[in-house]
Structure 1
Amino acid sequence: MKLTKILTKKLTSFWLVSLAAVAFVFLLCALMSFVQLTYRFQQNKVAELESMIVTHYQQHGTEQLDTWLPAVLKAYHVEKFQLLLDQQVLYSHDVDILSRATGLTFYHHVIDPQTSLTVTFELPSPLNSYQFSGYELFILLIGLGAIVGFVRYGLRWFTQELDGVELLAIRSKLILDGDIQGAKVTAVKGRPRLINRAISKLINDLEDAQQERGRLDQFIRANTFLDPVTEIGNRLYFENRIAALSNDNKMVAYGVVFLLEFDDDALMNVQADIEENRAFITQIVAIIPPLVSDYTDVIFARRSGLQLAVVVPQLSLAEADLLADRLLRRCLLVKHHQIANHDNYLHIGAAFYKAGDQPSQTIEEAEMALRAAQLQRLNNWFMYDKGAVDKEIAKGSVRWRSFLEYALVNKRFFLLHQPVLESDNSLLHYEIFSRVRDNQNNEIRATLFIPMANKCGLMPQVERMIVEQVLFHVMPQNNAIYCINLSMDTLTSRAFIRWIQSTLLEHRPLATRLIFEVSEDVFIKHQQHPQLAKSLTMLSKMGARLSVDHVGKQVVGTQYIQTYDFDFVKLDRSIIRQVHERPENQLYIRSLIGGLLRSKAQVMAEGVEILEEWQTLKILGVSAAQGPFLGEITLV
C-alpha cells in the first residue's frame, strides 16, 4: 500500500514537472522567436534604407540628401547615422543627446565594396519601443487562464485516476489479507473500472463458492450424521457424542440417558399410511427439544426407527425424575388414530451415570430400564438407579452460589494446562483448564462447577480470575502462548469486556500471546447477538487470536468461521475418537479443511488418545492436536 501511494505521487509529480518543462520550453521558444522576428524586421528596414541610399548616391552623389534623408531617418527612429567613403564622412545625422534613447543597436555595413561606401546606424532596440495594447493583454490573459484551467482539470483527472489505482491496490491488499468483506465494501471508485468490476465479480463468485462449500459440508455431515426423516442425529451421531462425553472409556461427569421407544405391535406393524407415521414421529421429535432447552450439551438422536435417545449431562436424579415424567406426558399428547393400544405404545427407560462409568455400560443400563418399563404393559418410564450419586450433585443453586462466591473471594481456583502440539510435535501453545478446591480441600472438576456457575451467573467473575492468573502469574514466567476458554455470559458482560480491554491496552505485548477460545454452541445459539461480534472483534484488534472449539459436535454449517475470521478451528473429540476406523469422520475432516483452505484458520483436534488417531489426522491435513497421547493435563 505504501509503495503504491509513493508510486502514484511520483507519477503525479513527474507529470506536473514534465508539463511545466514543456510549457517552459514552449514559452522560451515563443519568446526567442518573437525577439528574432523583431530584430529581423528591423534589419529588413535597415536593408531597405541602405538600398535607397545606394540608389541615390549612384545617381546624385551626396547632393539632395538633406531633402529627404532626415525625414526617413526620423521615421526609422535612427539616433545616429553616418555615410562614409574610405573612412571619410560624406553625410552625418545625429539626434540631440537629451532625446537619445537607451539600449541602442549599432549597425555597420559596407554597402558598396568597389567604392568602400559604408553606412553606420544606431537604432533603439526594437523591443524597447514595443508596448502591449489592452487587446493584446486581454488575449494573453485568456490564453494563460486557459492553460491554467486545462492543467488544473488534467491534474484533477489524473489524480482521480491514480486514486482509483490506489483503491484497487487497497482491495488487492484486503483480499490477500483474507478480508473479503472489506474488499467488497471498497468497490466504489476503483480504476480502471473494467479491472474493478472484474475483481467485484470474482469476489461475489468467491462468496458464492464459499457458501456453496459450506452447504456441501453441511450436506455431507447431514447425510453422514443426520436421520433423513426426523433431521436429528442418527445412531452414528449418538455414538460419537457419547464417546465425546468420556475420557479413557470413562464418563467425565454425571448425567442421565433416556431411551424412548414405541411399541412395534402398537404402531409400526399396522397398515397405516407411511406419511402419517412420519408425521407422528416428526411431531414427537418437535416436542422434546423445548423440554431440554434449559440444559447444555444435550444429545438428541434417533437410534433406530422405533427408538429415540436423549442424553442430558449435569442432571441430578431429582431433575431426571421430573424430566422423564414431562417427556412421557408431552409425548402422549400426540395422537395417532391407528395406534392399536393407546395404553401401551410408548415407554421410556432412563439410566443415571456418574464420572468414571463406562459409556457402554450406561447404554446397557438404559436399555435394561426400557425393558423394565415395557414389562409393566403400560405407557410408563423406569429409572435404572445404582444409588451411587456424587454428594456434590445434590447441592442446590443457593449452596452452589455461596460456595462459588466464597471460592472467588478466597481465590480457591487453580489452573492446569495441556500442550497443543503441531504436526512436527513442536509446541504450539498451552490450553488452560481450571479447578476449584472446596472447604475440605477436595478438588472439584470443571465439568461440575462450570454448569453451576453458569446457572448462578458467576462465569464472568470466574473467567476474569482465570485470565488474571494467566496474565500476571503464568505468562511472566515464560514465553509460551496460552489459550483461555470464554463463555457466552463472559463475552456479553460489559464489565468483563471493559476490564479486558483496558488490561490488554496496558499489557499489549502479552495480548499477542493469548488465544481466546469459544465453543461452537455459542455461535449456533447466539450468532445474531450484536455484543458477541463486537467483543470478538475487539479482542482480535487488541492482538489476541481467536479459536472455536467443539467443531463438528453439531450438524451445522461452518460459514460462521469465515464470518468471525478465526485463527484456529478445533475439532470436537466426537469426530476424533477412533477416526482411523471411521471413514465418514475422515470425509467430514477433509471437507472442512478444504473449505477453510483459503482462510487463515488452522485446523486442530482435541482428545487424541492413540497413535493411530494422530497419524490419521496428520494424513488428513490437521495441523495441530492435543490429548492424552500428546500430553497430559498438569498443574501450571
Structure 2
Amino acid sequence: MPRLSPPIPTATHSDATPVQRYALPKRKRSLLLSIWPFVALAIVQTVLAISSLHILGAMRAFSSGESQWSKGQKDATYALARYAVSGDPAAYDQFHQGLHIPMSDMRARLMLEDQGYAARPQAALLLLQGHNEPEEINALIWLTVYFKNTDSIGQLLARWQDADEPLQELQTLAGDIYASMQLAPPTPVQKQSWLAQINALQIQLSEAERAFNKVLGDTSRAMNKWLWSINIGIALAMLSLLMGHTWRLQRKTARAEDALDLVSERASTTLAAIGEAVITTDAAGHVMYMNRAAEELLGVSLEQLVTSELVQHMHASPSSAGSDKDGASAWVQTAIADALQGREHPRETIFRLCDAQHHVREVKLAFTPIGDDIGTTEAVFVLHDVSQEQRYIRELAWQATHDQLTGLVNRYEFERLLGVLLEQTKHEDTAPGDHAIMYLDLDQFKVINDTAGHIAGDAMLRAMSAMLQRCLRAGDTLARVGGDEFAILLKHCSFEDAKRIAEQIRDAAQNVRIQWGERSLSAGISIGLVKLAAPLTSVEEVLRVADMASYGAKQRGRNNVYAYDPGVDQEIARYVGEMEWVERIKAALEGGHFCLYAQAIEALSTDADEIAGGGLHIEVQIRMRLPDGNIISPVLFIPAAERYGLMPMVDRWVVKQTLQTLAHLQKTAQSPAISCCAINLSGTSLGDERLLDFLQDQIARHGVDPRTLCFEITETAAITHLPNAIRLVKALKALGCRFSMDDFGAGVSSFGSLKNLPVDFLKIDGAIVADMLNEPAHRAMVDAINHLGHALDMKTIAEFASTPEIVESLRGMGIDYAQGYAVGRPQPFSNTIAAPSSNCVH
C-alpha cells in the first residue's frame, strides 16, 4: 500500500549520494559541538607547554648571559690593572674588549626599557656583541619587554642595573689612566691609587653579580612553581569543563530523543494546516502524498491521485503556449528529471495552471530531491498559488506608469520614454527635427473647478484626454503630466507635421464640451510645441523649454500654439536665460556669493546735510560675485529674481548684512560715521506681512540705531501694496527709522497717495533727471516734484546726477540731495567706509 502520510527523509549509510550533501554539514557541526572541549583542552595545554618552555628558555638566557657579562667585566678589570702597572697598550686593548661585553648588554637593556619591542633589531645586535647565544636572544628580549613590570623580572633587572654605575666608573677610570699615561710616566703613588680604585670597583661588580645570581635563582624557582600551579589548575579546570559539557550533551540527547517522537505527528499536522500545496512523488513521478491545500489546488483528492503520475493532473491553461504535454506537464517532467539527477538547489518558476474545474491559476513551483545511498528516491514539490499576488503586481506596475483618472501614461513614464528617445537619437542617424514634443495646458481650468467643482473638472480632463487620443497618430505617446497639463511625444514627425497636428488639437479642443447640469462647460488649450534638436539633449532641458513654450502660448492670449525651434526662436532662450539666473541667485544665496556696494548721496545745501545727520549718507546696493572674481550688476539678475519670487530672500540677505556692518561700525566708533543708510525693499517684500516682524527682530538683534536706517520703496510697490506699506512705514518710523520713496515720477497715480505715506525723502526717477538739461519737459517735472515734496515736508533726492552740470542745475532748483556718478560711483562697502570686509561674503 502507498504511504498516505508525509515521508520522513532518512539515510542508512554515511556515504549516501544526494542526501549526504544535505546531512553531512549538520553532522559535522554536531561532531564539532561534541568534541570542542577536547580540542580546547589540547590547544590550551599546547599553548601552555610552549609558553612554559619559552619562559624557562628566557630564564636560561639570563643565566648564560650573566656568565658572559661576569667574565667580560672580570677580564676588563684584570687587563686594566695590568695596564696601570705596566702601561702595556695590549693590556689596554684587552680591557676594552672585555668591557665591551657587559657594556653591550647594558645598552641593549636600556634601549628595550626605553623603546620596548620597537628596539628589538638594535637590541638583538648589541646582545649578540655581548656574546649571548643567538638562539636565546629573542627569548631574552621577549622576557625583558613584556615582564619588566612584574615583581620577579623587575627585581632581576634592578640587580642588573646595580652594575651600570660601576661599569661606567670603570670606563671613566680607564680613560683617566690612559690620559695620564700619555702625559707622563706614572709615579708609584699613582699606580697604587689606580689599583685601589680598580679593586674597589671590582668588589662592587662582584657584589652586583652575586645579587643578580641570587635573584635569578629565586626567580627561576618561583617561576617553576608558578608554571606547575598554572598547569595543574588549567588541567583541573578543563577536566571540570569536560565533565560539565558531557553532562549537557547527555541532557541534550535525551531532549532530542523525546522531541523526535513528535516529529512525524507534527509534520502531518503542519503540512495539513499550511496554505502551500505540498506533493511528494517517487523517482518516477508517482504521487505518494499531498496535503489538503494541494487537493484544493488540483481539484482532486489524494485517494483519486495516489500512485498516478503527477504530470497527468498538471494541465496548462488554454492561453499557455503549446499543448498540455508541452506546457505545465513538460515543466513538471523537467523538475522530476532534475530531482533524479540530485540537483538539490530549489528552482522556482511561475506558470499558469488549470485545475479540474478549469479555473486558471498562476502557480509558483519549487522542488527538492530526497535520496539515500542508491540515489534520488523521492521528490517534494511545493506549489504556491500566486494568482492574487501577480494580479496585484500587474496593477501596481500599471499604476506606477499611468494616471488613475485618465488612464494615460503619467509623468514618470513619459520622462522615461523621452529619455530613451533622446538616448537613441545620440546613436542613430536620425535627421534633426524628426521628433517633437507638445506641452498642453488647459485654459481657465481653475474656473471650472472653482465654479462647478472638482468632479466636473475630472470629467473635463477625461473628455480632453479622449479628444487628444483621437487626434494622435499610432505610435505617439500621450501623457498627463500635471493637474491640467498633458504632454505628447511625436516620434518620426517633421516639425511642419507637428505644427499641423498641434493646430488640429487646438481646433478640436474648442469643440470639447461637457454638460454639467444646466451648464455647458468648455475649456481652451494652450500648446507649446518644441522640436527635439540641439542643444536640447536632456529630459530636464526639453521639459523645461516645453513648459516655457506653453507659457508663451498663454502669454499670446491663450488658446494658441507656440512652436519653438531651438535654431530660430530666441524668445524661449530669454526665458531659459532667466531660469539660469534663478539657479545662479539660489546658488549665490546658499554659497555666499553676494556682496554689498554703497553709493554716496550728497547734500546740496547745509540744511540738507544737517537733516541727514551730518555724517555719511549712502545707499546700499547688492552685487553678485562670480567664481572668477567678476562683479555682476543687479540689472542682470534682479528682473529674474522679481519674476520668480526670489526678491524676499535677496532683501532679507541685504538687510542682515547691512545691519551686521552698521552694528560693527557703531560699536567701534568708526569715522566718518554713517548718519543715514538707505536699504531698498522690493515690492514682493513689501507685500509680505511678515516683513515688519523680520525688520524689527533684526534691528533689535544687531542693536543698530534705528535713526541711521532709511528704507527705500518704489512708488509702484507702495501703491500696489498700500495698506501694508502704510502699516510698515508707521511702525518703523515709530522706532526712528526713515523712509524714501524711490523712482518717483515713473508712475502716474502716486501723487494722491503721498499724503497717506509719511515718507522722509522723495527720490526723483533717474530717467527724468538724466536728460533734464536737454528736455525742458523733464526739467519741469523735476521742478514740480521738488515743489510737491517740499510742500509735503519731504526732502528730495535726484538720481542719475551723472555730470557736474546736472548737479549744479539741481542745486539751483533747490533739490536737497544728488546721487549719481558726478557725486560718487558705487564702491564695495568696505572701501566706502572703514568697515569690516565681512559684508562681502565669499
* Greater Rg by CA: 2
Q: Same fold (TM over 0.5)?
A: no
Higher RCO, 1 or 2 (CA under 8 Å, sep at least 6)? Answer: 1
TM-score, L = length of structure 1? 0.37
TM-score, L = length of structure 2? 0.29
Relative to total residues, which structure has the larger helix share, 1 or 2?
2
